[in-house]
Chains A and B, each alone.
Chain A
Amino acid sequence: MTRTVLFAIAILAGLAILALAPAFLGEYGLGFMVSLMSYVTLATAWAMFSGPTRYISLATVAFFGIGAYTVAVFNETLPYPFVLIVAISIGALLATFVGFATLRLAGVYFVIFSFGLAELVRQLITWFEVNITGTLGRYIFLPFETRHIYWQLLALAAVTIGIGFWIRQTRLGLALKVIGDDELVAAHSGIALARTKVLLFVLSASLMTLAGAIQSPRWVYIEPAIVFNPTISFLTVIMALLGGATRLWGPALGVIPLMILFEWLSASFPDHFSIFLGAMFILIVFLLPKGVLSAVETRLARLKREANA
């Protein structure tokens, strides 16, 4: 009990410090934190569904992009909170549809389907804009400073991790784990596969949509090709896998080293970024097969053992 209380206090303190970050971080540091929080949200939300079910989804950017695009469309006509509500509704609606449609798909079929989905959404939006509205390329002029966006993303990341924590405590979390292990057993144990999977998918997608919506004012100009950049999906997967997709804090812990690595590489080797990045990736796969979190845990366990000895 006291441990839980202590833990809760630690979390709150951590949040408070993070919330004060704009006071002592410069514009650059804050920009870095914005990306960090955005990816923490995306990776955690991704792992919420994909971690336990092992459905590797590349649709992240479909939802992220929808969030951003919705803001681009409505930012001049609707008050900001309503824009967010519209965004989340569209994201959730699409996720529900996709969730039900893909229930029969597993493994790599789902992977590529989800990739195709992101591309399809992008193509359809493009077509719609070209043929119906005649505007391709929209502007977002919202009066947000970096710190405003940072605070929103921090809150979203906290909420996302909170939801992840909550799911773990509930039967929903258990159900997902079973589904990931063996769907047939899950069904015969009384787990409603479709409802569980779709619920989680929608939840995860809604969070991603929000992340895109909140971050978009940073880019001013929005075009489908910009916001539906598949790199975002790939990075999300990689960060989550790197950290450990089945753990609550895994994805977040995958984001941090990668973000730092990117930052360092793009500054130190602007011309050879790709090569170093690729090499790092391969090294990571070989050296940290089970993700950062479990590597850290093993290391800690060993230290503890040595201390005890």
Chain B
Amino acid sequence: MEKTLELKKEVTILFAGDSGDGIQLTGNQFTNTNALFGNDVSTFPNFPAEIRAPQGTVAGVSGFQLNFGSLDLFSPGDMADVLVVMNAAALKANIGNLKTGGTIIANSSGFDKKNLRLAGYGDENPLQARSLDKYRVHEIDVTKLTRSALVDSGLGTKEIDRSKNMFVLGFLYWMYSRSLETTIKFIQNKFKGKQHLIDANVKVLKAGYHYGDTSETFTSRYDVKPADLPKGTYRNVMGNQATALGIVAAAHRSNMQLLYASYPITPASDILHELARHKNFGVKTFQAEDEIAAAGAAIGASFGGALAVTASSGPGIALKTEAIGLAVMLELPMVIVNVQRGGPSTGLPTKTEQSDLFQALYGRNGEAQVVVISAHSPSHCFDAVYEACRIAVEHMTPVIFLSDGYMANGSEPWAFPKSSDLKPIKPKFAKPLENVEEKYLPYLRDEKLVREWAIPGTKTLEHRVGGLEKEKDTGNVSYDPENHEHMVKTRAAKIAKIADYIPQQTLAAGEMDGDVLVLGWGSTYGAIKTAVNELIAEGYKVAHAHLTYINPMPNNIEEVLKSFKKIIIPELNDAQMVNIIRSKFLLPAIPYNKIQGLPFTIQEIKAKVLEILNA
């Protein structure tokens, strides 16, 4: 049968199924293949909170959204063009995210009586219901087709069923005119030494591909040409992975040992997992007994002259705040990574949110400023955490690095740097005194107000530090009133001065002196940038600025803000950054908030900006 080939600029596919259905793997494979092909890609995995919730229920649905295209993409797409569902629950959970006119590809054996009941559909199969009329529905009995493909494989049914996802993947490769090569390589690697599993999976993958070719129901294939990305060598990268790589790179470029001390917590644990695999880089990971111990270990390592990083998510960061205060007093470098999740308390552990900004800025006793830096996309995690390490080390201060569940688990193509292109990081280790009669002054400061890093093992620099207020220069304990005020102000001034050592604020989209500035921070970057670009294309005078440096902010930030008539600040929280901007600059910045554990859609941002423009 003749099939037509249609060209698409951009496609959003949403894979959904039981957490046991291999949805994340399918999504990642499809992403890698498209990325390698040259598309720009952006992904958004959405896990259930349960490890493995009861099969077939809505609570157990795992999702993976992928946007790929021949354009520059900054977000995984708002609504899906294609929804792939492995069972009824997956349909129920995700149908709201499918564009009108979109395509549903459904595994029909996932719509049997039991599945319908578990999904809460009652008796009627929705695939046959009128309500789906506005979509194109394709049913494929994936289970049956997979089983018949492997009837002679000698594998048990349970094992056979586990490769269903390969059938779907093969089918989609056919549909989007992609080669099977990357995935075949992946299978060979994954099942190395187990030839029968390699054969089975490849067979099912091909069966899916051929099904597309031969089945009568599918008449259209699509192609999405490579994107016009800047020249360079690319790879695909997830946010937590990029964070781990940025930390390794910082240790490498500064010639320091790395101690990564952490206690597992969703969604930060994957950084630990990734780092633990790189021991041959001299990476030391320490899984501490709790978050307090992890922060304490980082301080100990930092005192010893190592690059010290600790990571957690909100509830764990809460536990670290006392130790962070100590690091402020000791003026030792340390990076604290917070991969934010839905709060408060245990909240929504697998969902994304930006509600720990206040905690990062203000969540300590006493006047205890730290540097706060935020990444804005999966690959930007690399640059931002590298910068966090640089500032910590060169300015002798704790730095909080903010990521979130959305960028941590999302992925995108990354024109990764050469190691030699990375900005050098220069720890200011103190040298032994020449005159042994001299007394070492551990709290003497340079023009940046930064003290030296005098590490044990260095002769003549023996000194003691601690959490009590310290005397200027000597670092001895001091209860003197003026000295205290001096030290509080000096510690704050040291942080403020960092503004002289970071880049000026630029616009991510649009031009200065416009009607509306959309000011963002964190993982809202993609949605805002796309929305603003679309509005500009529609003729509006809007712009987008995105903050990487939150404390201190770039020196020109006030100037940027004041050049716009209105400022709107979209955040995945109940209005935090907006409060800081209002208080700092007395500007009537407008909050726009979403607190649903989900990222903004481009449409949401556009609509809000239009509302403001028309107000």
Q: Say whether A associates with B.
A: no
Residues of A within 8 A of B (CB): none
